Amino acid sequence: MNSKTLMKGAFLAFCIIGMLVLPAAAAGQASTGQGSAVDQGLTDDLWASHQTYRLQEFDSHVAQTNNVIGILGKYSIDTTQMQATLTTISGERAALDTALTNKDQIALKTINADLVADWKQFAQEMKESVKAHYTAARASAQAGASGTTTASLSPSPAESTV
């Protein structure tokens, strides 16, 4: 190895160590009271902003999902399970608002985990409903096509007398 490669490696190692050590040292200073304290007003304002936009995001997703359910219903796709899941999701809004207002990190983690599971369930139900709808439509079209083919292959009464 040449000296340039060694220098590059040493510099890279120094940078990586610095990236690991400096944040840990800064965290240690903050926890021991050294360094500057964070203004409580700033923390409160940032949390209030987070709360506002988190609830707006939740409401936006619910509204979009209602629109999706309406569109699927317009095409005669069964949305019963999806609507039930959306009702469950919508019911979580009050708990989400309360957890955000109280800054309850444990409740937020629980609610967010529940919401992730519910949204995944909704997506799965939507896929299954659309798939079931088009599978039934395809089967119906094939049955109609095979009925037409069979009728055209059988002789008409006039042909059978000849």
| Residue range 39-65, pLDDT digits in tens | 899 999 999 999 999 999 999 999 999
- Count of domains forming the chain: 1
Looking at residue 22, what is its pLDDT? 55
pLDDT band at 151 (very low <50, low <70, confident <90, very high): very low
- 59 with 67: CB under 8 angstroms? no
Q: Residue 25 — very low, low, confident or very high, per pLDDT cuts 50/70/90?
A: low
Residue 93 lies in a domain: yes
161 occurs within a structural domain: no
Q: What is the pLDDT of residue 125?
A: 96
| Nearest in space to 112 (alpha carbons), one of 126, 136, 95, 128 | 95
98 in a structural domain: yes
| 37 assigned to some structural domain | no
Q: Can you read off the two tokens belonging to residue 112?
A: 């967010």
| pLDDT of the residue at 60 | 96
Taking 50 as the threshold, does the pLDDT of residue 87 lie above it? yes
Q: Indicate the angle between helix axes 105-153 and 93-102, nearest 10 degrees.
A: 160
Query: How far apart are alpha carbons 155 and 146 in whole angstroms?
Result: 16
**How many CA atoms lie within 13 Å of 162's alpha carbon, on the beta-carbon side?**
5
Does some domain include residue 146? no
53 located within any domain: yes
- Domain hosting 68: range is 44-140
pTM tops 0.85, yes or no: no
Could you tell me if residue 65 is inside a domain? yes
Say yes or no to pLDDT of 156 above 50: no
Residue 50 maps to a domain: yes
